[in-house]
Amino acid sequence: MTTKYLYVMGAESGVGKSTVCLGILAQLLASGFTADQLAYIKPVTQCIEKQSVALFCERRYITYRDLGSLVFSKGFSKDFIDGLTPRSDELLAEALGAIYAIGQGKEVVIIDGVGDSSVGSVAGVSNVDIAVSLACSVIFVGKPGIGAAIDNTVLCVSFMQYKGLANIGIIYNKIPLSALAEIKSYVTKRLPELLPEITLLGFIGNDQIVETQLKNNVSEEAAQWFSSYIDRKTLLCDWLGLTDYGSGLVQK
**What structural domains and CATH numbers belong to the chain?**
4-241 (3.40.50.300)
Q: What is the pLDDT of residue 207?
A: 81
Residues β-bridged to residue 170: 140, 200
Residues 6+ apart with CB under 8 A from 35: 29, 60, 61, 62, 63
pLDDT score at 213: 63
Closest CA to 151 of 114, 193, 191: 191
| Alpha helices in the chain, H assignment, sequence order | 17-30, 52-60, 76-81, 88-102, 127-132, 147-162, 180-194, 208-214, 219-227, 232
d(CA 157, CA 168): 8
Identify any residues that bridge with 45 across adjacent strands, giving them in sequence order: 71
CA distance 16 to 147: 19
Question: Dihedral angle at the C-alpha atoms of 15, 17, 18, 23, nearest 10 degrees?
Answer: 120
Cα distances (Å, whole numbers) of residue 185 to 20, 150, 190: 21, 13, 9
Greatest alpha-carbon span in the chain: 56
Which tens digits make up the pLDDT trace of 20-78? 999 999 999 999 999 999 999 999 887 777 778 898 999 999 999 988 778 888 899 99
In whole angstroms, give the CA distance from residue 138 to residue 165.
8
Rounded Cα gap, residues 171 and 169, in angstroms: 7
pLDDT of residue 98: 95
One digit per residue, pLDDT tens: the chain, 252 residues? 689 999 999 998 889 999 999 999 999 999 999 999 999 999 988 777 777 889 899 999 999 998 877 888 889 999 999 999 999 999 999 999 999 999 999 999 999 998 888 998 999 999 999 999 998 999 999 999 999 999 999 999 999 999 999 999 999 999 999 999 999 999 999 999 999 999 999 999 998 656 566 656 656 788 889 999 999 999 999 999 987 534 455 454
Is residue 168 within 8 A of residue 201, CB to CB? The reply is no
Q: What is the pLDDT of residue 69?
A: 75
| pLDDT at residue 247, rounded to an integer | 44
Question: Is 0.85 surpassed by the pTM of this model?
Answer: yes
Q: Are 125 and 70 in contact (CB under 8 A)?
A: yes
Residue 26: count of CB within 10 angstroms of its CB: 25
Burial class (CB in 10 A: 0-12, 13-18, 19+), 192: middle
> What's the pLDDT score for residue 211?
59
